[in-house]
Amino acid sequence: MPALAGAGESEVRATVERLAPGTAVERLSPSALPHFYDVVIGGDLVFVSEDGRYIVQGPVFDTVEKADLAEVSLAPLRAEVLARVNATDLITFHPDQVAHRIWVFTDTECGYCRKLHAHMDALLAKGIEVNYVLFPRAGVGSTSYDTAVSVYCSDSRQRMLTEAKAGEAIPTSTCVNPVADFLSWAAAWA
């Protein structure tokens, strides 16, 4: 942590302004990386030294704590993203007794997403609640976006999601939906 709170903030802001004029610093806080600040710019996390000389982006592994400091810094930002998601907008698969909860940004056309979903019964048997946030990676107006909207707007979201992930055609449906919002929230996740 910086020795004197606020001592390097002006240097960090000056560095960002010098390297990327007009860029807004969305968040600036002391980092778990000694003598650095966590700086969020355009949804991306970078570490900037107190004196503004060094910028580090990507994983920074603390060998004593055995933790990736980038992940430690991103965890509260990700929690904020999840807090914005209304529980009624999720597609949730509930086990009989919840031991763990996971949130998954999912795309009906993603092979890995389909593979995870194929193991739903095993996840539920282990007490894992799966909360899906629809995330059509191809974006608004794509086939996967239209499918996500149809899943969201259906009377049986779980069944439609399961059918779509199995590669089955599902009925087209539209309604007021948060799928485009999910895309922008997911960008903040990375």
Establish if 133 belongs to a structural domain.
yes
Residue 55, domain CATH: 3.10.450.70
- pLDDT reading at 6 higher than 60: no
Given a contact cutoff of 8 angstroms between Cβ atoms, the answer to whether 136 and 147 are in contact is: yes
Q: pTM value?
A: 0.73
Question: Domain range for residue 168?
Answer: 84-189
Tell whether 173 and 111 lie within a shared domain: yes
Tell whether 13 and 65 lie within a shared domain: yes
Q: What tens digit of pLDDT does each residue of 127-183 get?
A: 999 999 999 999 999 999 999 999 999 999 999 999 999 999 999 999 999 999 888
- Report the distance separating Cα 186 and Cα 84, nearest Å: 11
In this prediction, residue 78 carries a pLDDT of 80
The mean pLDDT of 107-130, rounded to a whole number, is 96
Tell whether 51 and 142 lie within a shared domain: no
Average pLDDT, the chain: 90
Burial class (CB in 10 A: 0-12, 13-18, 19+), 110: middle
Tell whether 96 and 131 lie within a shared domain: yes
Structure tokens at 173: 């449906």
Structure letter (DSSP) for residue 150? H
Tell whether 49 and 100 lie within a shared domain: no
- pLDDT reading at 1 higher than 50: no
Structure letter (DSSP) for residue 143? H
6-15, 99-108, 115-124, 168-177, range with the lowest pLDDT: 6-15
Nearest to 117 by CA among 166, 183, 186: 166
Residue 143 φ/ψ, nearest 5 degrees: -60, -40
Establish if 114 belongs to a structural domain.
yes
The mean pLDDT of 9-20, rounded to a whole number, is 85
Domain tally, the chain: 2
- pLDDT reading at 72 higher than 60: yes
Establish if 28 belongs to a structural domain.
yes
